[in-house]
Amino acid sequence: MTPPSRDDLAEFVYREASLLDEGRYDEWLGLFAPHGRYWMPLEPGQTDPLLVTSLLYEDLFMLRLRVERLKGARTFSQKPASRGHHLLQQPRVERFDPDEGRFATATAFHYVETRLDEQELYAGWARHDLEVVDGALRIALKRVDLVNCDAAFGNIQLFP
Amino acid sequence: MGKYAADREALAALVRPAEVHRDVYVDDEVFALEMRHLFANTWCYVGHESEVPASGDFATTEIGARPVIMVRGEDGTIRVLHNRCPHKGTRLVTERSGNAGRHFRCPYHAWTFRTDGCVYAIPLRRGYDGTGLEERAAARGIARAGAVHCYRGFVFARLAETGIGFDEYFGESLSSLDNMVDRSPAGRLEVAGPPLRYLHRCNWKMVVENQTDACHPMVAHESSAGTAVRLWEGMQKPEGTGKPMAMEVIAPFVSRYEFFEEMGIRVWPNGHGHTGVHHSIHSDYSAIPGYFEGMAKAWGEERARAILGENRHNTVYFPNIMVKGPIQLLRRFQPLAADRTLVESFVFRLVGAPDMLLERTVMYNRLINAPTSIVGHDDLEIYERMQAGLASDALDWVNLERLLDREEEHDATEIVNGTSERQMRNQFAAWKRFITMTMQ
């Protein structure tokens, strides 16, 4: 395949957010590399996902579990379901290494999650570490740093 | 004055042997009385000594609705001070933790206090010459907790000047803290990183009760743990593939009723109690290489086996913390209002043990206790629905009758069926005792 362009990287990030906002979670899972992870640190600037608590640090199995749970007949916290909305700034390319097939982008975002009459706004930065797997871009790590990651939150049920 | 503040009997009547009145969860006046009396007369968890290792180190929290500072003095003693300037009431520190050096200095008028709370200096002090300031409470410095006790690194305080002593209050329940600390080959724990902080729009007691509610996991967590088990079993994987750590953590939540019935509940006087007398959801975790060897070296093989053979599930220390010995986790249920609670979940490192134990503890914390946790979502949905349901006066009484023994006493140490609501009744008996003891 021809290596991805910088625009392709940005398109990938936009598409990822669209799949989430449209609730197309199975397709969204397909964007992850087999060893992909989704990380939401608890501390600003956190470097250790294993020995320091995070809000979320999950492999594909656990992400699939989240997606399956959202569909469950007895998933009471999703009756009615939540909806999410991402507003993204243009992704900045932080790594562009076609020879290694490795890329990274940083994207500032506002994310809204809503259920019933409640709506919460979260702001932060998403970093996507991307790799080429079988000729396609895939997420090795999506790291979401909320600007107030150390604040007390109510339920965050979907994927910022 | 409302109907409860002026009437101790009316407040006590909210707790019956098998039921409690919904006002204990929804009424603002009851909440105010809890803050004033219950959280002053009981021993409340303040923090861990490893949060304040050096002289002048402090950590802030609340006991009930009262903001306090835990601070290590120059003499090495840990004290608990009210986070309020005795002059005009300004909160002295707002950071969650830090180092005060040798003094706390109020940012308003620069009244300055030693770390034991005594007044060090007041600017332009001659303005108080002859006013009689020395007779006022303000001259005595920052108000202190009535009593402070550090037990194996865990710092508790009783705000009231007089009342029940630490040893009498906790008694044999301290065995759960002992077991958690003894799991360190060095006999010592350290707080590992920041706590999760999870806002609950429900009454704090609902969350405390749920810690020993063994009839909800297979129902409320069918969506999370049930789906996990189904996914794992349906997954294509090589023969003999071991469960990953995350599955070991989450799958036991949907164990059968018999599992929870047989695990047992032990109750102690003063509202303390624990689930998991005989076994628990923490019993079948994989052994971590090198850990037992280190424990055997430190404690001897027999003693090490006894320590690790104890797999208590949730120990509630009345009024508002829960500890999990086998995975070194402590949750504090901080009341903010009748319908608002902050749940903080702290994890601890077993000093001298392999890192993989902390890795499992940290994983447990984020899978079960985070605002982003699917198990957390299951529980919080239920609490918030209870709070909403109890706002209606359609029925006034909440039922806590499962496996009620009509003869049961609440100053007893006893082991009962694991699905009993006995520990919830035990908590309310203590609630009634400690909230009314200083009311007129």
Instruction: Please give the ipTM for the structure prediction.
Output: 0.96
User: Given B193, B244, B370, which is nearest A55 (Cβ)?
Assistant: B370
DSSP three-state, residue B84: coil
Q: How far apart are CA B375 and CA B217, in angstroms?
A: 9
User: Given A53, A72, A155, which is nearest B196 (Cβ)?
Assistant: A53
CB contacts of A156 in chain B (<8 Å) are 371-372
Q: How far apart are CA A23 and CA A71, in angstroms?
A: 11
User: Given B362, B374, B376, which is nearest A52 (Cβ)?
Assistant: B362
Question: Does B351 reach chain A within 8 Å, measured CB to CB?
Answer: no
Model-wide pTM > 0.95:
yes
Q: How far apart are CA B285 and CA B400, in angstroms?
A: 32
Q: How far apart are CA B327 and CA B104, in angstroms?
A: 36
Question: Does B201 reach chain A within 8 Å, measured CB to CB?
Answer: yes
Inter-chain residue contact A65 with B228, CB threshold 8 Å = yes
Cα–Cα nearest to A53, from A61, A45, A41: A41
Quickly count: other Cβ atoms within 10 Å of residue B118's Cβ: 12
Inter-chain residue contact B199 with A154, CB threshold 8 Å = yes
Cα–Cα nearest to A143, from A64, A25, A36: A36
B350: β partners: B189
HSE-CB for B132 with a 13 A CA cutoff: 2
Contact B410, B228 (CB under 8 A): no
What is the structure's pLDDT at B213?
97
What is the structure's pLDDT at B243?
87
CB contacts of B197 in chain A (<8 Å) are 150-153
Which residues, other chains included, contact B412 with Cβ-Cβ below 8 Å and sequence gap of 6+? B267, B269
383-412 in chain B: CB under 8 A from chain A:
385
How many Å from the N-terminal Cα to the C-terminal Cα in chain A? 31
**Closest residue of chain B to A52, computed from CA coordinates:** B193
A vs B, Cβ pairs < 8 A, gives: 109
What is the structure's pLDDT at A2?
81
Q: How far apart are CA A129 and CA A54, in angstroms?
A: 18
Cα–Cα distances (Å) from B223 to A69, A73, B63, in that order, read 6, 8, 35
User: Given B223, B359, B380, which is nearest A72 (Cβ)?
Assistant: B223
Exposed (0-12), middle (13-18) or buried (19+): which is B165, by Cβ within 10 Å? exposed
User: Tens digit of pLDDT per residue, chain B (440 long)?
Assistant: 578 998 999 999 999 999 999 999 999 999 999 999 999 999 999 999 999 999 999 999 999 999 999 999 999 999 999 999 999 999 999 999 999 999 999 999 999 999 999 999 999 999 999 999 999 999 999 999 999 999 999 999 999 999 999 999 999 999 999 999 999 999 999 999 999 999 999 999 999 999 999 999 999 999 999 999 999 999 888 888 888 889 999 999 999 999 999 999 999 999 999 999 999 998 889 899 999 999 999 999 999 999 999 999 999 999 999 999 999 999 999 999 999 999 999 999 999 999 999 999 999 999 999 999 999 999 999 999 999 999 999 999 999 999 999 889 888 999 999 999 999 999 999 999 999 999 98
**Closest residue of chain B to A64, computed from CA coordinates:** B231
Q: How far apart are CA B19 and CA B79, in angstroms?
A: 39
CB contacts of A43 in chain B (<8 Å) are 193-194
User: Given B342, B374, B382, which is nearest A69 (Cβ)?
Assistant: B374
What is the structure's pLDDT at B440?
81
Inter-chain residue contact A56 with B342, CB threshold 8 Å = no
What is the structure's pLDDT at B2?
79
Inter-chain residue contact B198 with A68, CB threshold 8 Å = no
Q: How far apart are CA B103 and CA B100, in angstroms?
A: 6
Inter-chain residue contact B220 with A76, CB threshold 8 Å = yes
Please list, residue by residue across B75-109, b when 16 or more beta carbons sit within 10 angstroms of its beta carbon and e when fewer do. Answer: eeebbbbbbbbbeeeeebbeeebeebeeebbbeee
Cα–Cα nearest to B208, from B23, B421, B437, B432: B421
How many Å from the N-terminal Cα to the C-terminal Cα in chain B? 13
Q: How far apart are CA B193 and CA B346, in angstroms?
A: 8
CB contacts of B362 in chain A (<8 Å) are 50-54
Inter-chain residue contact B194 with A43, CB threshold 8 Å = yes
**Residue of B363, B364, B372, B385 to mutate when probing chain A, most A C-beta within 10 A:** B372
Contact B176, B282 (CB under 8 A): no
Inter-chain residue contact A69 with B224, CB threshold 8 Å = yes
* Residue B394 DSSP class: S
Exposed (0-12), middle (13-18) or buried (19+): which is A132, by Cβ within 10 Å? middle
Low-confidence ranges of chain A (pLDDT < 50): none
User: Given A42, A68, A153, which is nearest B194 (Cβ)?
Assistant: A42
DSSP three-state, residue B196: strand
DSSP three-state, residue B4: coil
CB contacts of B196 in chain A (<8 Å) are 42, 53, 55
List the structure tokens of B130: 């002859």
**Residue of A29, A52, A53, A55 to mutate when probing chain B, most B C-beta within 10 A:** A53
Q: Is the dihedral of CA B229, B421, B336, B165 positive or negative?
A: negative
Question: Does B216 reach chain A within 8 Å, measured CB to CB?
Answer: no
What is the structure's pLDDT at A1?
64
The H-or-E segment that residue A106 falls in is strand A102-115
Inter-chain residue contact B358 with A56, CB threshold 8 Å = no
**Residue of A35, A142, A143, A155 to mutate when probing chain B, most B C-beta within 10 A:** A155
What is the structure's pLDDT at B214?
96
